[in-house]
Amino acid sequence: MDCHGADDADGGLALDTFSALMKGGEEGVSIVAGKADDSLLVKFLEGRSGRGGKNEFMPPGKRDKLKAEEIALIKAWINAGALGPVMADKPAAPREVITPKIAPKVAPKRSIQAMAFSDAAKLIAVGRYGEVELLNPVTRSVIRKLTGFKGRVNALAFSTDGATVYAAGGEAGILGEVRSWKTADGSALLSYAGHTDACYALALSPDGQMLATGGYDQKIRLWDASNGTEIKALKGHNGSVNGLAFRPDGKVLASASADRTVKLWAMPDGARLDTLSQPLKEQNAVVFSADGTQLLGAGMDSRIRVWQISATAKEGSNSISTSRFAHEGGILGLTLSRDGILLASSATDRSMKIWDATSLTEKSVLEKQSDWSPALAFAEKGQLYSGRVDGSLGVYDTSTGKSVPQAIAEPKPKMISVAKPKMAPKPELTRIITPALHSGGSFTLALQGKNLDAEPKVHFSHPDIQGIIVKSSIQPNQLRIKTSAPATLPRGAYEVWITTQQGETARMKLYADDLPATVSMPEHFKEGPFAITQLPASVWGKLVETGQQDVYQITVKAGEELVFDLAVQQVGSTALSPRLEILDPSLNVLALNRGLDPGADPFIAWKAPADGSYLVRVSNTTLDGSATHLYRLTLGALPYVTGWQPLSSTAQIESTVTLIGHHLDSIAPIVIKPGSTGLLPIPLPAGDIRYRVNPSQHVSMLSQVTETEPNNEVTNAQAISAPGTVNASLFSNGPQGDADHFVFEAKKGESWVIETLAAMAGSPADTKIQVLDEKGQPVPRLLLQSVRDSYNNFRSVDANNPDIRLQNWEEMDLNEYVYFNGDIMKTFRMPRGPDSGFLFYATDGKRRSYFDTSTTSHALDEACYTVIPHPLGTQLVPNGLPVFTLNHANDDEGTRRLGRDSRLAFTAPADGRYVIRVTDTRGLCGERFVYSLTVRQPAPDFTLAVSTNKVMAIPAGSSIGFSVEATRQDGFEGPIRVDIANVPAGYFASSPILIQAGHTLATGSIHALPTAKSDADWSQATLTATAEIAGKTVTHRMANFGKLTLGPAPKFIVHLEPDADGKPVMRQDTQETSPLELTLVPGQTVKAWIRVERNNFDDLINFDVHNLPHGVIIDDIGLNGIQVRAKENERPIYFRCAPWVEDQDPLCHAAMASARAEQDSSGLATSFPVLLKIRKSAGVVTR
């Protein structure tokens, strides 16, 4: 998929799976089943998309369009219902290469694709299909074979000490295989699982710690060579990765790809440094010169290129020095001699050459090869080995270019083995094949790991779980444990671990159930569905192979209701898109579920339409599989709680809780009496009741009532008292869903908060609330008059993105409201450069909405308006732009704190009765769609939290940032002052800090002076927040910073300093704790400096200035912020102050951050703060 693969889907539309196709992209749903002409996919294929006023085609540009008959076939499929793949007569077999069994008339070729030589081991490794041969380089006899490899071996490497052999390859289109073996005895060590297609490249770092592999899946994966852990996956190539090489210092990795590029990557972090794009065709090989200053690459354009690589290898510093046409055919392989003097190359024209590596001049043209020779390796005594596709092996003398005849093997001398003292390795536990426990029974666990054979003992996290290790099963890498547990052991997760004489393993999870565990294996499905003969049942399985589907057969009576609970996330599986289906014998899907709620594991409750056999199919929507794609399917007539009601109760008053779910008829309602406000868990009766979420109630002091039906119309709205809470549900059998109506009385000018509790308490309901008058008409809130028009001129944005590029943004200002099709946002920060957008107010990185509107997504070129709010009844002068009437309504609460739940502020415009209408915004309803609706008086207030999780150690002589975040309540938007006192001697903290009106975040800096002590007592430090709310001073004490320590000296120290005569005013780090001062005049720009003291660190550093007052920005910077370039120490910056900014004295600081990030300094390297003085007089710089 060139433009619509899952990794980089253009417009968010992926076409590599059926589920992704049906999901659609940013433009909307791509397929409308049964309506081909209305389907967006067909519109693009036929060139009638209408996007942007144009009839765009897909594929775009000059690419070949689909033929009319091909489009007709797609339309016919859509009109027929757009059905996806269905199961064949038998479940899908594991993906494998199936070839006819034809006896060969001659011996098949044992192709050689890779070779490697080890100086330490004095062995040649030869890669063939399914195995690696270790050869004596003199006699060329096979010393031993390394087996167990799946597919063809395409790349090989020895560790520096020759003790380990690494191989990469696999089956094309099926899997990538990377393995390692001990050279000494050929025993398997590790398998590095991750590549989804065959591997063609492998390289080991010079220190032997990191293994790099690449393949047809276009990924480079970095591994910890010692334990097989994947460190990172590098993305960037658009074709197969065919060659890899580490620079001798290990700091740079080079990659050659079929996308016609060679790329350089920083090690060990994997950052892309440069793309060398001079090649004309796919590249197959790269090697570094012995000193690492040159990189040689070659490929199918028949050229060998040499690039000069700088010490940093960063973009723009690597130039091409030589490009030599080397062979008539495409070049297959390159290899460099151990001394770096000679270079060998092979090509598709069956030629091989030896070159002077320094001058890239030919030294020898070797004999014509019998077949392609992709495998090359220099060995000792100046010999070059050639491995050919026909399976033959050639050896050449590099001084003469002549073939070296095979030596006759001498008899092997008898070796006397000398026993070495055994090491005492620590045991490791890596995997439990099926992590099940049976409450009231037994289950045998199979554990895998390392070093498990030194008198192992088993331990569990619960004393009632017993386990006996089966002695006959004990091996270094595995053992079995027969477990037992009493019936009283609750269902849930527990831990198991092993100890030996050498130590303790990591703990791993086990999952207990009172149903005995049945384990399904792939062979159980070879002859058809796996029959489950007795219900209820608990079945464990794995989706190991790509596209695997496990199908079970059950027999059910007509009308019998069964519960099917597919636990995936719940049991630690790596499967991300599980799918559960019920089918009849004709493979018609009767029920399907991908999650009980969004993001949850699948769940189905289903009644059989007739007596007979039915099929249960477990699969993964994305078709991927692995040994860790584990699942547990529980099925039967089981009591299962999927919801409860009510969600709210009143303190000190009895509440009766009704459980919602299946097979709960025998469970009586639960009576509880909450003691105090807060969250109260609901005690469930003893027994085998199952649930996903532990039921709980939110307890308040408000009175509670229960919904009375019918109330689906304004005319039969249920009367409620305010303040108070009503517990209700959206449960209707009507075609239009349910709509609940509640009426309350209010006096003119009374203010109320109206809110729902649903999704935040585990309900699937996505509520929307509206306030209507007694006639059922929306109650208007205010008028919004447009004063400027604009539109989104750079890509569509989702409901969360606070960064939007607007046309004519220069005409706008901060703190202005922008109306985007009912979504009202507020401007926060002007663009700071040509690549920057307008930033809108956000909470935790998610865009906020105002006046109780809800955030939505917005398309490219979508119109918007700068609006000014006016009270109802205002006589507005027409200006040719729209006037919007905003009603009292809310879908998702605007500050983004309540998830999908709703909240709005209502002020009664007159005495009267007002109707609250509650619906699900999607029109869904059902027994589980419970909610509570609360009408209460506003209680303006705030809570504060200081970030301590990122602030652990303060670098000696430097600073680290912290942040204070406010959660505002019920319309309080005023400023909040935070004072920090009792900071230990030798340290300085920014104080006071001001969270500005309407803002939620302020940041500061903690500095360690030269006299700072590592054992300073931070427990006495205090943070006190003060604000004026409704004419009263409100004070809150906050938690302090916690335990902080003095860290080592940092790589650099950054200073933010004023300008004096074109130079920075340098601050000396003494006992002085008075910040430098910088005065700004509203409407003007003032110069300052970012200065860096480096400590053996010369790289580029990105900075931004944090805690600036609203209306002050650092002008004219890019998306990466203020950049102090490599080996430079200072950079001028410019503070720009908007004309309307009021006089104030905030503390600001420089922070190591990009301009893209939210201005949260927590845990970042910062400067000592500067006192920024905003004054309406001439600007001066003082000390």
Read off the CATH number of the domain in which 1111 is found.
2.60.40.10
Considering the domain architecture, whether residues 576 and 694 belong to the same structural domain is answered as no
Residue 1153 falls inside a structural domain: yes
CA distances from 502 to 23, 107, 451 (A): 53, 51, 9
Considering the domain architecture, whether residues 1066 and 952 belong to the same structural domain is answered as yes
Report pLDDT for 67.
Answer: 85
Report pLDDT for 416.
Answer: 47
Considering the domain architecture, whether residues 1079 and 1163 belong to the same structural domain is answered as yes
Q: Is the pLDDT of residue 320 over 90?
A: no
Considering the domain architecture, whether residues 460 and 486 belong to the same structural domain is answered as yes
Residue 824 falls inside a structural domain: no
Could you read off the pLDDT of 930-962 as tens digits, one per residue? 999 999 999 999 999 888 656 678 999 899 999
CA distances from 1104 to 840, 1056, 1069, 1133 (A): 18, 10, 22, 10
- Report how far residue 23's alpha carbon sits from residue 287's, in angstroms, rounded to the nearest whole number: 44
Report pLDDT for 96.
Answer: 53
Mean pLDDT of 1088-1114: 91
Residue 399 falls inside a structural domain: no
Pair of tokens at residue 1096:
């053996």
Report pLDDT for 319.
Answer: 87
Considering the domain architecture, whether residues 1002 and 1120 belong to the same structural domain is answered as yes
Asked whether 827 and 762 are in contact (CB, 8 A), the reply is: no
- Report how far residue 196's alpha carbon sits from residue 621's, in angstroms, rounded to the nearest whole number: 16
Considering the domain architecture, whether residues 1052 and 1073 belong to the same structural domain is answered as yes
Report pLDDT for 89.
Answer: 37
Considering the domain architecture, whether residues 627 and 672 belong to the same structural domain is answered as no
Considering the domain architecture, whether residues 952 and 1003 belong to the same structural domain is answered as yes
Asked whether 261 and 283 are in contact (CB, 8 A), the reply is: yes
Residue 897 falls inside a structural domain: no
Which domain-ending residue is among 31, 51, 79? 79
Q: Is the pLDDT of residue 95 over 80?
A: no
705: CB partners within 8 A, 6+ apart:
720, 721, 724, 725, 726, 727
Considering the domain architecture, whether residues 1132 and 988 belong to the same structural domain is answered as yes
Residue 499 falls inside a structural domain: yes
Could you read off the pLDDT of 231-244 as tens digits, one per residue? 999 999 999 999 99
Q: Is the pLDDT of residue 1183 over 90?
A: no
Which domain-ending residue is among 38, 56, 79? 79
Q: Is the pLDDT of residue 1182 over 60?
A: no
Considering the domain architecture, whether residues 1034 and 1106 belong to the same structural domain is answered as yes
Nearest to 573 by CA among 623, 612, 630, 525: 630
Residue 725 falls inside a structural domain: no
Instruction: Find the helix or strand (DSSP H, E) in which 70 lies.
Output: helix 68-79
Q: How confident is the model at residue 851 (pLDDT cuts 50, 70, 90)?
A: very high
Considering the domain architecture, whether residues 446 and 582 belong to the same structural domain is answered as no
Report pLDDT for 412.
Answer: 47
Domain that holds residue 38: 6-79
Q: Is the pLDDT of residue 892 over 90?
A: yes
Read off the CATH number of the domain in which 579 is found.
2.60.120.380
Could you read off the pLDDT of 581-636 as tens digits, one per residue? 999 999 999 999 998 887 789 999 999 999 999 999 999 999 988 889 999 999 99
- Report how far residue 674's alpha carbon sits from residue 419's, in angstroms, rounded to the nearest whole number: 72
Report the sign of the C-alpha dihedral through residues 502, 504, 508, 510, in that order. positive
Could you read off the pLDDT of 386-439 as tens digits, one per residue? 999 999 999 999 988 899 887 655 554 454 444 545 556 889 999 999 999 999
Which domain-ending residue is among 513, 541, 575? 513
Could you read off the pLDDT of 26-55 as tens digits, one per residue? 778 888 888 888 888 888 888 777 665 566
Report pLDDT for 13.
Answer: 77
DSSP assignment of 452-514 equals: --SS-EEEESSTT-EEEE-GGG-BTTEEEEEEEE-TTSPSEEEEEEEEETTEEPPPEEEEEES
Residue 557 falls inside a structural domain: yes
Considering the domain architecture, whether residues 589 and 680 belong to the same structural domain is answered as no
Could you read off the pLDDT of 673-720 as tens digits, one per residue? 998 899 999 988 866 789 988 899 999 999 999 999 899 999 999 999
To the nearest whole percent, how much of the chain has pLDDT over 90? 65
Count of the separate structural domains present in the chain:
5
**How far is C-alpha 461 from the geometric centre of its chain's CA atoms?**
31
Residue 601 falls inside a structural domain: yes
Residue the block writes with tokens 């917005």 = 858
Report pLDDT for 1091.
Answer: 93
Report pLDDT for 799.
Answer: 92
Could you read off the pLDDT of 826-848 as tens digits, one per residue? 999 888 766 678 889 998 889 99
Q: Output the pTM of the full model.
A: 0.60
Could you read off the pLDDT of 459-481 as tens digits, one per residue? 999 999 999 999 999 999 999 99
